Amino acid sequence: MLKALVTDVDGTLTDRRRRINTAAVEAIRTLVDAGIEVVLASGNTVCFMDGLCRMIGTDGTIIGENGGVCRRGYKGSLHIAGDREICLEAFEVLHDHFAGQGIDLELLSAQYRFADVALARNIDPDEARAVLRDHNPPVRVLDTGFAIHIQAPGVNKETAMWKLAADMGLSLDDMMAVGDSENDIEMLRAAGVGVAVQNAPELTRAAADWVSESAYGDGFVEAVKKYYPDLFSR
pLDDT digits (tens, 9 = 90+) for 98-125: 999 999 999 999 999 999 999 999 999 9
pLDDT bin (cut points 50, 70, 90) of residue 80 is very high
Mean pLDDT for 26-49 is: 97
Q: What rounded mean pLDDT belongs to the chain?
A: 96
At 145 the pLDDT is: 87
What number is the average pLDDT over the span 12-21?
96
Question: Quick one: which H or E segment has residue 143?
Answer: strand 140-143
| Separation between Cα atoms, residue 128 and residue 181, nearest integer Å | 18
Whole-number Å distance between alpha carbons of 233 and 213: 19
Architecture of domain 84-151: Alpha-Beta Complex (3.90)
At residue 3, the pLDDT reads 97
Q: How far is CA 150 from its chain centroid?
A: 14
| Active-site position among 8, 116, 180, 184 | 8
Whole-number pLDDT of residue 1: 84
As a whole number, mean pLDDT of residues 138-154 equals 94
pLDDT at 82 over 90: no
Task: Break the chain into its structural domains and give their ranges.
Answer: 4-80+155-231, 84-151
pLDDT per position as a tens digit, 178-209 = 999 999 999 999 999 999 999 999 999 999 99
Position 233 scores a pLDDT of: 81
Assess contact for 8 and 41: CB atoms under 8 A. Answer: yes
Residue 33 designated active-site? no
DSSP helix/strand/coil, 10:
coil
Query: CA–CA distance from 176 to each of 37, 76, 129, 191 (Å)?
Result: 10, 22, 31, 6
CATH architecture of the domain with residue range 4-80+155-231: 3-Layer(aba) Sandwich (3.40)
pLDDT band per the 50, 70, 90 thresholds, residue 234: low
User: 78 pLDDT exceeds 90?
Assistant: yes
The band of 228, judged by pLDDT with boundaries at 50, 70 and 90, is very high
Helix, strand and coil in the chain, % to nearest 5: 40, 20, 40
Cα 173 from Cα 129, distance rounded (Å) = 33
